[in-house]
Chains A and B, each alone.
Chain A
Amino acid sequence: MKLKILWMYHDLMDLYGDKGNIEVLRRRAEKRGIECVVDTCTLDEKKEIQDYDLFFLGGGADREQQLIFRDLLGRRDGIAAAMDSGTAFLLICGGYQLFGQYYKDQDGNVLESLGFFDYYTVASDRDHRCIGNIALEAAIDGDTFMMVGFENHGGQTMNVQTPLGRVLSGHGNMYRSEFEGFLNDQVVATYMHGPLLPKNPAVADKILMRALKRNYGEVQLAKLDDTLEDKAREVMLKRLKVI
């Protein structure tokens, strides 16, 4: 089997160790004997997005996010074609926001986003920034598990019909909110850094299965030794007093 990953704006949207997610996907695929190709794509670079099984977009600082904004909107048709072709999406923080309707900054300026989903994001004042460790209970493709991560976002994302999970500790989509992220059949979108996948290997496997589905249908993945992964997650879940 072969898996093709497109890592968008790897040189600009690479805050908070988000690149670790790519390493996790690659390693967990290769451990199962799946050949894994990771291509990067930056500003003005031509890439056929629908040729890829998995689309990854991480978070960036405000300045970087402004730099990629126009370029990303110019790729809307390609992204839509990829969605139609069954590509899986992992979107973190800024990447998550950019797939919604719009982002309204602190001065009230509205930046139209890709508009694939109904949610939208409004900048918060300084007192309502969501920072800290976070734990969720999430159900992805029929399995329920606890996830841990680190959130650090000013934007308050509203009107999410299908969140990724229920917040056990932390803020989530809005300051002190009940739910975190966005989930549908193809897209996992979240504010969780950490990076997200190393300590949440079950989520990584779900994303791999979604990506493989495009060419190979329902795939079963062999179990891996996740002792360190589980231990690192457990330390945080205990710290947050959710187990």
Chain B
Amino acid sequence: MDIRLKIVQWSHRLLQRAGRGGSFPGVLALKMDPQFISRFHMPETVILVTGTNGKTTTNNLIAESLRAAGIKTINNRRGDNLNVGIASLLAANSDGSFNIQADAAVIEVDELTLYRQFANLHPTHLIVNNFFRDQLDRAGEMETIIRRIQEVTENFEGHIILNGDDPNVIRIADSAKKAKIHFFSVAENPISRKTTDEASEGKFCPRCGRPLVYDYYQYSHIGRFHCDHDGFGNIEPDVLVTDVDYDKEQFTVEGRQFHSFMNTIYGVYNCAGCLTVMKTLGVDPAASDEVFANFIIKEGRNELFQLSQPCVINLIKNPTGANEVMKYITAQKGDRNLCIFLNDNDQDGHDVSWIWDAHFERLNVPEIKTIVCSGLRAYDMALRLKYEGLEDRVKVIEEDTAAVHWLNEQNMPSYIMATYTALHRTRAILRKEEKK
């Protein structure tokens, strides 16, 4: 029995009893023992989930699928993907001697810190969703992130599951020579386009530097691409999603129909990643389909609140994610209001210039009546919208409680987009406002 572990576990239980989660136990653990995470005896199956967008959703879909298949599974379901969050997760699910009390662990890991924790977590599987431009002040350039992940997977002998439709992601297959590589891909479907105004990456072949050729784009630089010169991108997917049907909310893999979780293109990719993991584990995909049909992800991913009228909240943190959320919001019917919370705390990234790389002109539909700008950088957001001709519909309410209250008072359906640190606060405010 380790006394430091006990202290961490006690603090976790105390906080839970007080109705609070949070990362304090992990902070405490790493302060007492910087090597804390490496002390655990990990379960037989350890699946790490990383990438820029969709980590939390994918993590939950995988973990819930395993549970539905009767496998005892732990995961950091809220997306606490930094060292402290992972330390808290492990401590909370360990006995007094660092033995994890589960058969599988699914762990979302921040793509910037993955290289530090990779070996400590003894992964059997690594799944990489996508790499988009994200919080450059915090993340640095994407090249660094990819290079570091390539370095730590160079001698990895487990399974690597890659989004075969992202040229940044499949670079890992070129460098991880000892791993068992599995790709997932999504076939052309009603939202696919021959050209794009969204892609800022994936223009050049990482092997030879020549331009990549795209047969079609799904969103941002995700799509079917190849290099004419050296064949980069000509993958053979283990899981190929076909017949995506947004009206029936379903898709097909190898002749079997699945419910389309979230019914968006990025949701389909998250499902495809999950199904590829199941395939490598030999788990019946029926377990996943049950999850896709019934699971509700809270934590601000298309999360519904009942104010005077329905209110749906989504996390935004980079241009690609924001673009996809805006496509979803503008595809809805009827008059509605919108509220954007833009913060610039540490976890949001201090640099808010990314809003100029996102396609806010999409919000220029007549059914969007008012766009409330709130948060620490509310005026930066309002100014951005001014440049899309939305000035007359913009209303700045810097204070978050007042902004949510205003939405509730209008008696009109509403949509909220919030950056990371605004998300959790806003959800708490929404819960209170629901009770009014």
Residues of A within 8 A of B (CB): 11, 14-20, 23-24, 27, 61-63, 67, 131-133, 150, 152, 193-195, 198-199, 228-229, 231-232, 235
Contact = CB atoms under 8 A, between A and B. Distances in A.
Interface residues of B, number: 28
Interface string B371-387: 00000010110111011
Contacts of B391: 228
B136 A152 contact: yes
A237 B227 CA distance: 48
B295 interface: no
B203 interface: yes
B353 A195 contact: yes
* B141, B352, B380: most-surrounded residue (chain A CB, <10 A): B380
B353 A194 contact: yes
22 contacts: A15-B136, A16-B353, A18-B353, A19-B356, A20-B356, A20-B384, A20-B387, A23-B356, A23-B387, A61-B141, A61-B142, A131-B350, A132-B137, A133-B350, A193-B351, A194-B353, A195-B356, A198-B383, A228-B396, A231-B379, A232-B377, A232-B382
Contacts of B137: 131-132, 150, 152
Contacts of B356: 17-20, 23, 195, 198
Contacts of B352: 150
Interface in B216-232: none
B217 to A, nearest CB: 15
Contacts of B355: 17
B379 A232 contact: yes
Interface of B: 136-137, 141-143, 200, 203-204, 209, 350-357, 377, 379-380, 382-384, 386-387, 391, 394, 396
Contacts of B394: 228
B351 A62 contact: no
Nearest to A27: B387
A232 to B, nearest CB: 4
* B142, B204, B209, B356: most-surrounded residue (chain A CB, <10 A): B356
Contacts of A193: 351, 353
A208 to B, nearest CB: 16
B386 A228 contact: yes
A229 B354 CA distance: 17
B383 A16 contact: no
Given A17-B354, A150-B137, A150-B353, A228 B383 contact: yes
* B200, B204, B386, B391: most-surrounded residue (chain A CB, <10 A): B386
A19 B379 CA distance: 19
B351 A228 contact: no
B46 to A, nearest CB: 31
Contacts of A152: 136-137, 351
Nearest to B203: A11
